[in-house]
Structure 1
């Protein structure tokens, strides 16, 4: 960030205000860069809208919760760990193969 040589002639409070604003801008730029990395699909093991024009990476070690029904425990949490997709739920889960590359996950009460 460039400094205007006339700043040295400003009152101390104005110089302090400019310095504070510069720190805030630098902090915001740092947070923006971190957010960009967190949403970079290339640097993420979980990607939201993978077939969209602008896919959104959820960051490394992201865990995603899907609600499977209206009750509190009707959900499945998914995350990648050691090259495998881990699925856990609020209650028993039923995993039903639908084809060679598709499975349905449902919550079950009858166990």
Structure 2
């Protein structure tokens, strides 16, 4: 599965410049390529992120989470999601499961 250059560029913008809150990635089966489906602006929240995931299709996503520790220290973590709902097609689940590790290696810092 090929990874479109835009995927890496958008992830680097999220990671280094903090341009986005989240990015949703989709596999284009006909092109055999992973592409960016949606980006969430910095002002969006977790509810907007979960609403952007389809109910019956698989996706990959990254989410930039800011939080405060018990010591009152500001922290940040980038989470990787492999979204695979029960209602998704079996073929789609297999394709996403098989390409997950390779895609995670492409995103430096996950």
TM-score range, shorter chain: under 0.3
Larger RCO: 1 or 2 (CA < 8 Å, sep 6+): 2
Bigger Cα Rg: 1
TM-score, structure 2 as length reference: 0.25
TM-score, structure 1 as length reference: 0.24
The answer to which structure has the higher strand fraction is 2
